[in-house]
Amino acid sequence: MCRLQKQTTFRKTKRRLNIRGRKLKMKMKIHGFILFLLFCEFRSQPYPDKLKSSQQIFDASKDSNQETNTIKIGIILDTRSWVGEVVQSCITMAISEFYMLNEQYKTRIALEPRDSRGEPFRSIASAFDLLENAQVHAIMVPEMSSEESFLVTLCDKANVPLLSFSSVSSSNKHPYFLQVAQDETSQFKGVAAFLRAFKWRNVVLIYEDTEDTRQILSHLHDTFRDSDLDAVNDIAITLKATDEEIIKKLHNLRTMRTSIIIVHTSVSLSSQIFKNAKMLEMMSEDYAWIMTSKTMNLLDLQDSPVFESMAGAVGFRPYIPASSKLRNFTLRWRREFQRSEIDMESRGLNVFGIWAYDAVWALAEAIERAGTQCFPNRGGGGFKLNLRNLDHTRVSNSGSTLLNEISRSNFTGLGGEFQLINARLVHETYEIVNVIGKGGRRVGFWTPTCGFTKEIYQFTDNCSSDGLETIIWPGFSTTAPKGWLLQMSGRRLRIGVPANTRFPKLIGLSYDQQTNKATTDGFCMDVFNAAIERLLYKIDYEFIPLYGDNGSYSDHVYNVYLQIFDAAVGDITITSNRSQYVDFTLPFTEFGVGMVARLDDKDPWFFLKPLSVDLWIMSAGFFILTGFIVWLIEHPINVEFQGSLGWQIGTILWFAASTLVYAHREKLQSNLSRFVVGIWLFVVLILTSSYTANLSSLLTVQQIRLTKNDYIGYPKNSFSEGLHVNNLNFQDNRLKPYSSLEDYYDALRKGSKNGGVGAIIDEIPYIKLFLAKYPHEFAMINSSETTNGFAFVSILFFPEQCVCAPCPSL
């Protein structure tokens, strides 16, 4: 029976595995079929004529009298975009000019261009075509999106280097991916330093809602967190967002009160954002707009109305040092292509074209250093496309060598020093641009080593952190925004201050009848003034003296609850009942209440109190007796216990005294005397331990005896009477209220028998103030965290609550 059940279970398990296997095979066939259709569609599309002409440039640069080895290099770009056109033109010129200057080289690059038309799947199909049919040894891609990240994996499997001019950061887990562009995450430290320079802590981030940008957000937030900055909100906007949607998000931004805005979007979306921001009057002197290189790299493509809407914004863009090499190339580039492209001269060269030019020179030099033997004809099998399992795809034999040679590249190109570290271009200098007029004006630079500087000196490591030039902010203001929008009705804040306080050192108020102004001082006011100074905006306020019935602080809190005052400052205690009607700030003093009492008078023989008189007499007797017994045993046989009478008496006393600290030096020869000394040392250990413990207790804990016949003091007009004193089980006629430190002192000095009190209960800040004035006669003997400290009071709004309600019990 058991065997039959096992066979049945085995058949069911096998049937389920077969079903899962068929489903998995079906999915793989579907994926392969989709890629096959894309690949066939790509093969059926003819290449544009301008891409075909790149081979003609290669033929023109080739020396017919010298045998050369042709190395095919693929490039995938969108010829309909301006970036694609500039990159393609710069790559073509780079190949031509490189081999004109190096005619003796035995290798030549043959460009294999493919047009992606801005579609990620077409880029993937182009990569398959380049690897399978063209059998290229490297691929260049100007820009990459998250959807095209499959290209990186594909080139890793084929061992073919992939050079990207995109500034979007990529992980280091792809060994054949080379980022020949400035990593845009490196600018975030510069943005954080810019915010700190103007003492802005809270910012709002507007970013483009794409997978690439969402991945970069974590780097930005980590950088801000390390710099003690806070992105209070992240606002995502899609490329297809309408003006109505953008206006709605900008309206929400205005309610956040933060006026420092970082824009990390493409230039097309940024222009749409700034157009609507200007319409909403958000390009005023209260706002600061900071743009990243994602916008600034292609900002020159925009028209004049876009620059007008961005007036006053500040942007970070990669710094391309000016040089005669770059200037001459720019002239050649314009002269070569302005005839065929009308907008070439008006739009100008961008940073992607410069990076592409330098990348081609690095690639051509790397190919020549690798040698012709490293690039055998990849005919025959070559790259074999396996859509179902990329692990079994044939790989390039020259890929690793070419990758190493490219990584070793180090020269001065159009964009400055060209060097790759960790597969990324080493270039962390950013140019700070203030958008004023067409193209904006440079106000300085930022580098990780020098910080902000007005000048960059080439060919030297010296730099000076001399800050930035004057920035023209939105609204054509030269004063930096405060970073915070203060939305007030225009009236002064009425802040209540207790007028009749018990402790002027905590909160003191004097009112000048002639000037009709109140002046304040004390610890609480110092805390309030320090908090006001740290605000990034100015608050207009006035102090109003609070005169309640009998000076009760509950009345002061109730006045704020009734909105007679906007806030109240002073030594106001946080309680749960008060928190139901008003709002408190964070506490700025210690929590709890304590009890203070008078110290016992010390006499000169205080050190003898740890042990009783009988114990002292008995210890002294055993002290002498032990020395005598040891002398009696050791005298006949030990020379150290012999001598004159005076010497022997001194030896007895000295030996007994030295045993108290275990420092006796006399060597005992009798086992009996050693036994006696051992017992005595044990007794000494017990005596010294007891004495130390009792003495410590007397010095640290005041022995105060409170009985039901003692009087207890408490602060007058304070909640402490009902909250704490009544819980002590003392009779009401034994409780005495006091109002000042001097009253506390007199009552404790008299004591309960002479018309005073035995102890006083109050909050810890008051007790510490009392002990600071009278440190030698009194001490705090007990404390408990039953209150939450002092804080300031503000209005707590309840729309449905009537402020005319009867006075609550606060």
pTM for the model stands at: 0.59
The 10s digit of each residue's pLDDT in 190-229 is: 999 999 999 898 899 999 988 778 878 888 888 998 888 8
Q: With cut-offs at 50, 70 and 90, classify the pLDDT of residue 170.
A: low
Exposure b/e, 245-282, CB count within 10 A at least 16 = b? ebeeebeebbeeebbbbbbbbbbebbbbbbbbbbeeeb
> Is the pLDDT confidence value at 84 over 60?
yes
The 10s digit of each residue's pLDDT in 553-606 is: 777 888 888 888 888 888 888 888 888 888 888 888 888 888 888 876 556 666
**Mean pLDDT, residues 691-701:** 73
Task: Return the closest-CA partner of residue 528 out of 573, 485, 497.
Answer: 497
> Is the pLDDT confidence value at 338 over 50?
yes
Angle, in degrees to the nearest 10, between helices 351-370 and 324-337: 100
**Mean pLDDT, residues 492-505:** 81
> Is the pLDDT confidence value at 500 over 80?
no
User: Which two three-digit tokens encode residue 3?
Assistant: 């065997």
DSSP string, 252-320: HHHTT-B-EEEEES-HHHHHHHHHHHHHTT-SSTT-EEEE-HHHHTTGGGS-HHHHHHTTT-EEEEE--
Task: Return the closest-CA partner of residue 259 out of 289, 236, 223.
Answer: 289
The 10s digit of each residue's pLDDT in 611-645 is: 788 888 888 888 788 878 887 887 777 777 777 77
The 10s digit of each residue's pLDDT in 9-66 is: 445 444 544 554 454 455 444 445 444 444 454 444 444 444 444 444 444 444 445 5
Number of separate helices (H) and strands (E) present in the chain: 24, 28
pLDDT of residue 58: 43
